[in-house]
Amino acid sequence: MTEQQDLMKPAGVEGAIRLLRGEKVILDADLADLYGVATRVLVQAVKRNLERFPADFMFQLTREEFAVLRSQSVTSRGWGGRRYPPYAFTEQGVAMLAGLLNSPRAVQVNIEIMRAFVRMRRMLASHAGLKKKLLELEEKYDSQFAMVFEALKQLMAPQEPKRRRIGFRQEEE
């Protein structure tokens, strides 16, 4: 399978979605990779049509946000790499990009991105709904089911990885 086909997989698209400023966004470089164009080409197209991208569709990261992003993903600090903060596109901003980049690949990528946003929204809604129902049941029933509710809470909690003890162990006789 080619790298382009990998990017079109739901996991490739969903992996590009990040949470910044409380919004689910995709960065310009990730979108450019998905669309198969250079980041500068994507940014140039956006800058030519800024009236289509209000603040709730797209925003540019601050220098501080960019520094944190750089520290999270090892990027060039020398002569190569990016020198200005990237743009972050919300779901509506990605939909607006569909009108600017009108290639067959861009259309397919936009469809996959919209599907990924919908999947994420459904997953978050179902998890929140399940938690609410569990709390309602817990309030409704008395202590005879306390152990059951505690077990359910533990199952819903994120699991901590088991850590192996480091060091020498002496076997007891």
CATH code, domain carrying 115 = 3.10.260
Is the pLDDT at 6 greater than 50? The verdict is no
Alpha-carbon span 135 to 130, nearest angstrom: 9
116, part of any domain: yes
Is the pLDDT at 11 greater than 70? The verdict is no
What pTM, to 2 d.p., does this model score?
0.59
Give the confidence band of 115 by pLDDT, cuts at 50, 70, 90: confident
Answer for the pair 113, 9: CB distance below 8 angstroms, yes or no.
no
75, part of any domain: yes
Is the pLDDT at 126 greater than 60? The verdict is yes
169, part of any domain: no
How many domains is the chain built from?
1
What's the mean pLDDT in 148-169?
68
Give the confidence band of 7 by pLDDT, cuts at 50, 70, 90: very low
Is the pLDDT at 2 greater than 50? The verdict is no
167, part of any domain: no
Answer for the pair 35, 111: CB distance below 8 angstroms, yes or no.
no
